Amino acid sequence: MQILFLSAHLPSPRAHQGGQKTSYHICEFLGRRHEIHLLCFGTENELAVFDHQGMEIFQSCDIVPVNQWTRLRGVFSSPQLPLSVAARTSRKFRSKLRQLTKTHRFDVVILDGTAMWQYAGDVKPVALHGGSAHDVLSQLWDRRALQAVTMWSRPALRFEAERVRRWERNILSQLDFVVPHNAKDGALLGVLDPMVQQFVIHPWVSVRLPNAPSPNEIPASEMMRKPYSAVFWGALDRNENADAIAFAVRDILPGVRHAVPEFKFFVAGCHSEAIAPITDGVPNVIRTGFVDDIGGFLAGMQVGLLPLRQGAGIKIKTLECMAAGVAVVTTPVGAEGIAASHGVHFLIGETARELASYTERLLRRPEEARQMGERARDWFASEYDFDRPMAALESFLVANSGRIAKRESSSLCAIGVCQDQPNRQRRCNQGN
């Protein structure tokens, strides 16, 4: 098959954000047996750290830069679209897409990221086309409305949430399939459109599981964990992560500091300068910056404190901590889409007091933290498999792309496109 992958962000194996890595590994999996072409947007931050390592999986690769001004231009030029969708509206991108569909005969088009679904009309009915859903935008806007701090902003955010929901419902009806990255998001999309074909996959998790130790052997990672250490890991220029750090510093850490004066809270991730005003000078808080070996870094931590209140979709940072055997304290938002059990695989608190109490408990009871981390790691090893659901998706694409080709071939002949004999032979035979 020839597959065109249209992405809202720059897929890369060395990206700083988990969603970009998942997008890359979707392409890498499909590229093992098929021809993949990439057309994507690239933000200033993504382009600043981008290198070409691993990009040989693509037959062609074209990146359209996106910044604050292009986003604003998209919003003003497409007022009929929800704000977060219009921010990825681009004449340049659409022009490149049209040129690609003229010069290549794609069997499948994958629209990666909900905002990219707006381009479904540009590829229909040329190819089998579907959307990859890293999150559900209407849920994201619902949360923003619930957490609005001013009375005037709450109705505006609710209005936008409803606008997004109507758009999602309409655009889903134009897709041949959708690929949510967890079952929870699949259920939300199923409410919006019960008829759309779904293939739930697992997000790519960078932390690789260590080899199982022999009986009575303590894993090397457990011997290296820093006592009284807690960690937050993520892209720190994202609003949901900055909010989580502010929540921790303001409302959670004072209680932990009072009970465990010797503890240290490590804040790691790219663009950490964005949270410097929140963290710098705060007792017990250490801002480390970006970490290349996240698995090795997390292996040295005792507790993962992830007090997320915003955002949507599955939180890869929670999965990474669990895969590394770190005992996690998080919120319902941080745990959503993860079918593990509170009190067994992680601890979920809804208030600052609960989160502080759970963190203090695990810091003071390293053996309990170790056992919870081991259970989390075992759960991850048994439940998470990137390749198996991707294989099911690939089988669907292979089986159904031919049907789309036949449908297109019949339509072209019916409207007289096949009057030219070479064209008819080329186009019609590909549908047989």
DSSP codes of every residue in 97-123: HHHHHHH---SEEEEESGGGGGGHHHH
Q: What is the pLDDT of residue 407?
A: 43
Half-sphere exposure of 28 (CA within 13 A, CB side): 16
CATH of domain 2-204+386-429: 3.40.50.2000
Which H or E element spans position 390? helix 387-414
DSSP codes of every residue in 330-348: E-HHHHTT----BTTTBEE
pLDDT band at 250 (very low <50, low <70, confident <90, very high): very high
Q: What is the pLDDT of residue 128?
A: 94
37 token code pair: 């072409």
Q: What is the pLDDT of residue 402?
A: 67
- What proportion of the chain, given as a percentage, has pLDDT over 90? 74
Residue type (1 letter), 420: D
Q: What is the pLDDT of residue 207?
A: 84
Whether 233 contacts 241, CB under 8 Å: no
Answer yes or no: CATH 3.40.50.2000 is held by domain 220-383.
Answer: yes
Q: What is the pLDDT of residue 419?
A: 33
Question: Is the confidence at residue 223, as pLDDT, over 80?
Answer: no
Closest CA to 309 of 137, 114, 144, 180: 144
pLDDT band at 12 (very low <50, low <70, confident <90, very high): very high
Question: Is the confidence at residue 180, as pLDDT, over 80?
Answer: yes
Question: Is the confidence at residue 214, as pLDDT, over 70?
Answer: no
Of the candidate ranges 161-170, 202-211, 347-356, the one whose mean pLDDT is the lowest: 202-211
Q: What is the pLDDT of residue 148?
A: 82
236 token code pair: 């720190």
Mean pLDDT for the chain? 88
pLDDT band at 413 (very low <50, low <70, confident <90, very high): very low
From-to residues of CATH 3.40.50.2000 in the chain: 2-204+386-429, 220-383
